[in-house]
Amino acid sequence: MSDVALALGGANFDGLVEITELAGQGMVTLRGDLTDNTIVTAVNDVFGVTLPGTRETAFSGDTGALWMSPDEAMLLCSYDKAQDLADDLAAKLADAHALVVNVSDARAVFQLKGTMLREVIAKLAPVDMRADAFTPGMVRRTRMAQVAAAFWMDDASTARVVCFRSVAAYMFGILSMSADDSSAVNHFTR
């Protein structure tokens, strides 16, 4: 298999938070009724996760599922396994009203690490980032500055931001600017 060519070659920035472009993340998009038992069971069999509820995430080892809309979920796995798992799931859902596609190369993923990540995100997205409003286990599809994005928190000091690959450089630019050491507002730590 050929090497995974990252949009920014694994770019890195260290400021209020450490921003890293993550190496190839396997992503499989699933469209269908997320409450349909056939679909829930098939996803559990293939990815080992139970489909999450509204705006929630579910993780099990290196696989996971993100709630995207009432009829869309993003399934995460390792990059190498994505095609096999997608084929597997598609075969299991052949008779269901569902669509499964491997979209691993469509997006760029950035990891934000540091206790200031709420502030870095809040400067870019119209989302309430207070600790009691947005918690690990939630996912939010929104915009960051001028581009569509989604993000979730793995724990109190780690978040992952996903955007389309074509706007990866823009996303890295605005994240870096928002995380510039001299731009601290300290809104959430005051």
Partner 1 sequence: MLLITCPYCGVAAEETELHAGGEAHLTRFGPDSSDEDFTGYLFHRENPKGVHFERWRHVNGCGKWFHAARCTNTLEVFGTYSAQTTEPPKDILDTIRAKRPGFTWRTIA
* CA R_g for the chain: 17
- Give the C-alpha distances (Å, rounded to integers) separating 165 from 23, 29, 30, 126, 171: 13, 16, 19, 22, 9
DSSP H or E run through 162: strand 158-164
Q: Which of 4, 7, 14, 2 is nearest to 109 (CA)?
A: 7
Which residue, 11 or 66, is less far from partner 1 as judged by CB?
Answer: 66
For position 138 contacting partner 1 by CB under 8 A, the verdict is no
For position 31 contacting partner 1 by CB under 8 A, the verdict is no
Closest distance between partner 1 and the C-beta of residue 182, in Å?
27
For position 97 contacting partner 1 by CB under 8 A, the verdict is no
CA 116 to CA 24: how far, in whole Å? 25
| Span from 21-29, 113-121, 142-150, 158-166 in contact with partner 1 (CB under 8 A) | 142-150
Closest distance between partner 1 and the C-beta of residue 55, in Å?
6
Q: Which of 10, 35, 45, 54 binds partner 1 (CB under 8 A)?
A: 54
Residues at the contact surface with partner 1, assessed by CB under 8 A: 54-55, 68-70, 72, 126, 140-143, 148
